[in-house]
Amino acid sequence: MTHNESMTIAPILEVKSISKFFGSVIALHDVSMFVRPGEVTCLLGDNGAGKSTLIKTLAGVHKPTEGEYFFEGKPVDFNSPRDALEHGIATVYQDLAMIPLMSIWRNFFLGSEPTKGVPPLRRFDVSHAKQVTREEMAKMGIDIRNPDQPVGTLSGGERQSVAIARAVYFGAKVLILDEPTAALGVKQAGVVLRYILQAKQRGIGVIFITHNPHHAYPVGDHFVILRRGTIYGDYAKADVPLEQLVSMMAGGADLEALSHELASASRTDTGRAAEELAEAAQAYHATAVEAAEGATQDE
Ligand SMILES: Nc1ncnc2c1ncn2[C@@H]1O[C@H](COP(=O)(O)OP(=O)(O)OP(=O)(O)O)[C@@H](O)[C@H]1O
Ligand SMILES: [Mg+2]
């Protein structure tokens, strides 16, 4: 899909001038953003920027203090996460709601068990549940050898994938992922990024929260940057090279500032330790820029 084509698709979810106050704390102020079906909207920002508060507001956990919320073009006012889920807004939190000792298939169907027969003969259809779990995971490219395996034996990335596959199977139209790659190594993060693309290809509007522009850039269609509770910018991928995204993220700019600060400290009396720190910060910054360039070439 080209950028121009995507411009004509109506948003599935949109908020206009949303604010959220917790007593005197202004967690969000005048935030407007949209999510289109079949696109990945990346939500970026530093610690405390308001990312989790924003998605909790979208997911029905918080009610906005001010502003408007539209889903499929109609104004909505969710009273609970279940309310949002019933509209097709599924959220995968980083601390996944899964039971480690329970099998993969049971976790997959947790709270939505498929039944067979009519009451009073209705019973949980185990073989169907196992088959669906295996099939749905296969669609996401994961080969589950044994659906009876406890979910706790899966890797972090695979567990995230079970949660994503589950949301997709139960008809999510919008899938919200709060830092799904934060605790993962490079390879597992790659696995989760692939499922994000799969969900996108199935026409789901994905909201992907991350601190890491290198995770966001390869999968994102547009990038919403939050700073101190307000929107700093919303950039279509075509309009923002990765390097710019990296430097707009607080991390990039701060690291550069930090390396200068440490370098000047080492010129005074702080000595060798500060110099080493400065070098490390510089090297880290250079690696980030290099990785950014690498990722752009990979596309
Ligand atoms: N329930 C709450 N009560 C009071 N203040 C809150 C509450 N939830 C969030 N905040 C405040 O709102 C601001 C935004 O927090 P939020 O958790 O949304 O940030 P975040 O961008 O998700 O950060 P992180 O990257 O660390 O997860 C913070 O200053 C936080 O202290
Ligand atoms: Mg958060």
Sorted by sequence, the CB contacts under 8 Å of residue 71 that are 6+ apart come out as 12, 13, 87, 89
Ligand closest to 46 (CA) is 1
Look at residue 2 in the predicted model and tell me its pLDDT: 46
Ligand 2 geometric centre to CA of 232 (Å) = 17
Confidence class for position 298, pLDDT limits 50, 70, 90? very low
* C-alpha to C-alpha distance for 148 and 159, rounded to whole angstroms: 14
Ligand 1 geometric centre to CA of 96 (Å) = 19
User: Which DSSP helix (H) or strand (E) runs through 269?
Assistant: none
Tokens describing residue 224: 């919403």
Q: Who surrounds ion ligand 2 at CB < 5 A? A: 51-52
pLDDT at residue 123 is higher than 80: no
Ligand closest to 229 (CA) is 1
Look at residue 228 in the predicted model and tell me its pLDDT: 92
Confidence class for position 164, pLDDT limits 50, 70, 90? confident
How buried is residue 212: exposed, middle or buried, by Cβ count under 10 Å (0-12/13-18/19+)? middle
Look at residue 33 in the predicted model and tell me its pLDDT: 97
Look at residue 126 in the predicted model and tell me its pLDDT: 85
Residue nearest to atom 8 of ligand 1 (CA): 53
**What pLDDT digit, counting tens, does each position of 146-159 carry?**
888 888 887 777 77
Tokens describing residue 176: 């919200």
- Is the Cβ atom of 214 under 6 angstroms away from ligand 1? no
Share of the chain above pLDDT 70, in %: 75
Confidence class for position 1, pLDDT limits 50, 70, 90? very low
Residue nearest to atom 30 of ligand 1 (CA): 48
**What pLDDT digit, counting tens, does each position of 78-91 carry?**
999 889 989 999 98
Ligand closest to 48 (CA) is 1
